[in-house]
């Protein structure tokens, strides 16, 4: 069960909201969602983006490094809530514990942490490291909402986007296993609602339907007008590809573990958690694909 807090549902937005990981896919979408609420936001990143990336007048940017927890003190001082997003790494629980200690000392009232699908059961490496990070927040004495989203639709623009653009291919060892993909913007909207006082979701965050890779490829083809197909590969080939791009062994193990879960149907569960918080259904992959279609166009001059 996802709700592990004592947060009053009444919105309390009289103090700033701090957003960690503000330049990433989810963090940036959280900024957008909170900006529409008209609350004061402190966006924290290792580097402040250029003017084009910080147009919202309610957002104040601050530089901090999670490797130096004290660098967060200025952002946390006087704030009321914290969106806690940290990089995926083996030492994430310790990193989160250090941030949580600073947040508690600063008097933060509520923490909304971006966790991961399956952290409640901790059956995967990803689920276990996120569960430990959640426990670190609670151990610091903070009230917490843990958001546990399934795989992001945006992965087909970021991680898998090059293969689609350059070769019209989605390559993975997922086979016919389906995943209840969720739009990161829906996750961000849930985060914004919880940061401003809404009750926490009581289940993992998913999209409205589970899709296998072939169905995703067919949808991208239909929306973009270019041929995209799914090319299955073996776990061994996927492991070599991950090693070739220089990913650390632990992160490679996490990704391969997720592929195995998906291939076995373990990531196909669909929940109503997004709609329960937002009062509307989550976005369909086709909705996302229409928004993202330009990212999948073949490079100029390609065959």
Q: Are residues 137 and 259 in the same domain?
A: no
pLDDT at res. 56:
53
Q: Is residue 238 part of a domain?
A: yes
What DSSP character marks residue 54?
Answer: -
**Cβ-count burial 137-153 (b if 16+ within 10 Å, e if not):** bbebebbbbbbbbbbbb
Q: Are residues 19 and 132 in the same domain?
A: yes
Q: Are residues 29 and 137 in the same domain?
A: yes
Backbone dihedral region of 138: left (phi > 0), alpha (psi from -120 to 50 degrees) or beta?
A: alpha
Q: Give the contacts of 250 (CB within 8 A, at least 6 positions apart).
A: 89, 90, 125
- Shortest CA distance to 267 belongs to which of 115, 150, 187, 149? 150
Q: Are residues 83 and 128 in the same domain?
A: yes
Q: Is residue 9 part of a domain?
A: yes
If one counts the domains in the chain, the total is 2
Q: Is residue 274 part of a domain?
A: no
The whole-angstrom distance between residue 200's C-alpha and the CA centroid of its chain comes to: 16
- Walk along the chain (303 residues) and give the pLDDT tens digit of each residue: 334 334 333 445 689 999 999 999 999 999 999 998 888 999 999 888 764 455 555 789 999 999 999 999 999 999 999 999 999 999 999 999 999 999 999 999 899 999 999 998 888 999 999 999 999 999 999 999 999 999 999 999 999 999 999 999 999 999 999 999 999 999 999 999 999 988 888 899 999 999 999 999 999 999 999 999 999 999 999 999 999 999 999 999 999 999 999 999 999 999 999 999 999 999 999 999 999 999 998 764 554
Q: Are residues 19 and 142 in the same domain?
A: yes
Domain that holds residue 162: 153-180+208-269+283-289
Q: Is residue 296 part of a domain?
A: no
Q: Is residue 225 part of a domain?
A: yes
Q: Are residues 143 and 98 in the same domain?
A: yes
Q: Are residues 24 and 170 in the same domain?
A: no
Q: Are residues 108 and 158 in the same domain?
A: no
- Taking the model in full, what pTM does it have? 0.92
Q: Other CB atoms closer than 10 Å to residue 86's CB: what's the count?
A: 18
Distance CA 253, CA 198 (A): 36
Q: Is residue 166 part of a domain?
A: yes
- Residues 269 and 194: beta-carbon distance below 8 Å: no
- The C-alpha angle 182, 211, 116, rounded to 5 degrees, equals 35
pLDDT at res. 125:
96
Q: Are residues 161 and 129 in the same domain?
A: no
pLDDT at res. 189:
96
Distance CA 35, CA 250 (A): 36
Q: Are residues 27 and 159 in the same domain?
A: no
When computed from its CA atoms, the radius of gyration of the chain, rounded to whole angstroms, is 19
Q: Are residues 226 and 100 in the same domain?
A: no
Backbone dihedral region of 175: left (phi > 0), alpha (psi from -120 to 50 degrees) or beta?
A: left
Q: Are residues 140 and 216 in the same domain?
A: no
Q: Is residue 276 part of a domain?
A: no
Task: Read off the CATH number of the domain in which 254 is found.
Answer: 3.90.25.10
Per DSSP, the three-state class of 120 is coil
């Amino acid at each position: 069960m996802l709700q592990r807090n004592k947060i009053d549902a009444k919105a309390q937005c009289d103090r700033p909201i701090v957003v960690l990981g503000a330049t990433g896919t989810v963090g940036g979408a959280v900024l957008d969602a909170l900006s529409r609420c008209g609350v004061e936001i402190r966006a924290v990143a290792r580097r402040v983006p250029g003017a084009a990336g910080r147009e919202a007048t309610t957002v104040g940017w601050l530089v901090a490094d999670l490797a130096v927890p004290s660098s967060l003190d200025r952002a946390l001082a006087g704030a009321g809530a914290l969106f806690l997003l940290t990089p995926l790494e083996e030492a994430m629980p310790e990193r989160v514990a250090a941030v949580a200690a600073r947040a508690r000392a600063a008097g933060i009232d509520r923490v909304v942490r971006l966790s991961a699908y399956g952290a409640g059961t901790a059956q995967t490496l990803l689920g276990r490291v996120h569960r430990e990070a959640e426990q670190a927040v609670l151990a610091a004495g903070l009230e917490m909402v843990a958001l546990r989203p399934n795989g992001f639709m945006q992965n087909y623009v970021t991680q898998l986007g090059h293969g689609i653009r350059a070769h019209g291919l989605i390559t993975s060892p997922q086979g016919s296993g389906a995943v209840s993909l969720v739009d990161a913007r829906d996750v961000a909207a849930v985060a914004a609602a919880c940061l401003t006082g809404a009750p926490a979701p009581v289940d993992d965050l998913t999209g409205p339907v589970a899709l296998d890779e072939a169905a995703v490829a067919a949808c991208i083809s239909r929306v973009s007008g270019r041929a995209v197909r799914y090319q299955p590969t073996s776990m061994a080939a996927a492991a070599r590809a991950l090693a070739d791009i220089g990913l650390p062994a632990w992160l490679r193990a996490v990704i391969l573990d997720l592929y195995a879960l998906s291939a076995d149907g373990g990531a196909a569960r669909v929940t109503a958690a997004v709609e329960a918080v937002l009062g509307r259904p989550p976005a369909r992959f086709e909705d996302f694909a229409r928004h993202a279609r330009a990212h999948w166009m073949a490079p100029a001059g390609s065959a």
